[in-house]
Amino acid sequence: MCGIAGWISWNEDLREADGIIEKMSDTMQHRGPDAKGIWNSRHAALGHRRLIVVDPEGGKQPMVRVNRERTFVITYNGELYNTLELRRDLEKKGHIFYSRNSDTEVLLTAYIEWGVDCVNRFNGIYSFGIWNEEEQSLFMARDRMGVKPLFYYSDQRQLLFASEPKAILIHPAIKAEVDSEGLAEILFMGPSRTPGHGIFKGMKELKPGCWMLYRADHIMIKRYWGLKSLSHNDSLDDTAELLKDLFCSSVERQLIADRPLCTMLSGGLDSSAITAVAARVYSDNKRDGLNTFSVDYADNMKFYTPNQFETSSDNPWIQQVSDYLHTQHNYIVLDNRELAAALEPALLANDMPDMTDINSSLYLFCREVKKHAAVALSGECADEILGGYPWFHDADVIKTRAFPWIRMLPERSRFLSAGLLKHLSGEEYVRDKYREAIKEVPILEGEPDWDARMREISYLNITRFMQTLLDRKDRMSMANGLEVRVPFADHDLVQYVWNIPWQMKNHGGRAKGIFRKALTGILPSPVLERKKSPYPKTHNPIYRAEVQKELLKVLDNSAAPIQTLINKDIIRYYVESGRPFFDKPWFSQLMGDIQYMAYLVQINRWLDKYGINLLI
């Protein structure tokens, strides 16, 4: 994986823009610590930071290829998992390759051969920009599920794009401004984000499964992939068998790397399934034992008690799976004070407030994994596509016309300033975004009402909540120069599972029952039957004390930029009295009082560190 940046300008000569495009690229050195490069012409400047995973010599970027006297230049972030197949097809058409097995060269050649339709042939995770010097045009695209990010800013004179907002914000023509809509995203949608919304005024993100063609006189954006609702006619046994094949194929494709690879193992169904397939491939190919990694917190078991969402500790399950599959397991234990201190680097990696310690722990976890591996496979997306979260199985939640993971909106408003609430209604904003999402759902004619509603819930999870977790995984891993792959985000797998009827998905009356059936014989029975437990969070009071201390500093500082946005007196009362802010998680499964306090600390640091001008 890498960091990409570009600047297209019709009013300036970018042959003199080396300094600016280099600064844009260098803000993302963490994404590509191994190499860097820039390329420019009169109207285009491209930059690249590279994390080397395959073909160290042949994959240097920006990559330039000349075909029939036409010059094409690419800056690319991602991995193509069908590189060899595409390369063979292109060689049959007469194309000559100069690298050993660079997916960058294959992707660029695919565009030269097939134009914008090239994206329909890709299997992988990617975002890229290709400049056509003859046509003076820029083609950009993003993978179907949105695993890899691509932000952009455009006006009448220019277009800027990059893997992360920070690379665009450093451009001298761009100001870090946030209006009332951006604040509504942060304070009410947050820490999730509406697809395509860049938070900063004028900034957008190319949506998953979309491409853009940019010329001086127009911008064309087209969606090239989306879920299709079709009747499912496969039997239960056939469904389980095909699901197993699709899943195993996805994992196997994603094991290709020229550098050390590992899996992230929690002992849950999803990560254990990935690890099982990877361990089998390693054994079949007589490769050294597969490394696996898990995360926990210092003295966490002293304070842990099972609850509705966190049903059991991971450690015994991790050991059972590791022993069963003969992996070389590594337990990463995080210090709670360091966890609190990492709230800021996690924020800076994300360029906006995030899931607080859920993110900072992942940041620290990836930092440790990177010491041993350059590539990791992770279990994100399984619960979204297969219906594993508790809100898929709560009738009251399903009947409520709202995002299941966004809660406590009136309670959140209580902690905001009266002045701010004059300019925005968080509840109304979220309702509007919910209605927009529901209108997108591809309908299956004749589907029973309950199944149609479960299809809506699934769509919300795949296109909204899943994107939050993919963003989180990308930013926290790439902040440490670690490439993380997500086999459950394979588009063929997602499309097939999308049309499996809800009752079949829950075969045997169990969440993800069809997947459990598909994995019979691959994992031990207790692991197949284990109830879902989410990514672990700390229960150690040391972390809470650190966060409370930081929040009180913010409340005591009259110059703190967040003070215009919050009701500091009522927040101080809740902090000092120990009274709970909320009686249940206000976001997702894990984010409660302590995460809300940390979120306020992050918002204040965000406003300060980025010098944000609030347009309200």
Q: Which residues are catalytic?
A: 2
Q: Look up residue 221 and give its two tokens.
A: 């954006």
The enclosing H or E element of 63 equals strand 63-67
Give the number of other CB atoms < 10 A from CB of residue 92. 8
Per the DSSP assignment, residues forming a β-bridge with 214 are 138, 219
Give the number of other CB atoms < 10 A from CB of residue 268. 24
CA distance 9 to 24: 15
Q: In what order do the strands lie in the sheet with 70-80?
A: 63-67, 70-80, 124-132, 137-142, 210-215, 218-223
3-state SS string for 442-492: CCCCCCCHHHHHHHHHHHHHHHHHHHHHHHHHHHHHHCCCCEEECHHHCHH
Rounded to the nearest angstrom, the gap between the alpha carbon of residue 274 and the centroid of all alpha carbons in its chain is: 18
Give the number of other CB atoms < 10 A from CB of residue 35. 15
Which distant-in-sequence residues (6+ apart) come within 8 Å of 110 by Cβ?
86, 90, 118, 121, 122
Query: Crossing angle for the helix pair 466-478 and 343-350, nearest 10 degrees?
Result: 110
Burial 510-531 (b: 16+ CB within 10 A, else e): bbbbbbbbbbeebbbeebbebe
Q: How far is CA 428 from CA 184, 401, 411, 434, 438, in A?
A: 10, 13, 14, 10, 15
Using an 8 Å Cβ cutoff, are 99 and 57 in contact? yes
Q: What is the DSSP letter of 124?
A: E
The enclosing H or E element of 219 equals strand 218-223
| Cα distance between the two ends of the chain | 38
Per the DSSP assignment, residues forming a β-bridge with 297 are 334
Residue 383: name the closest of 589, 111, 613 by CA: 589
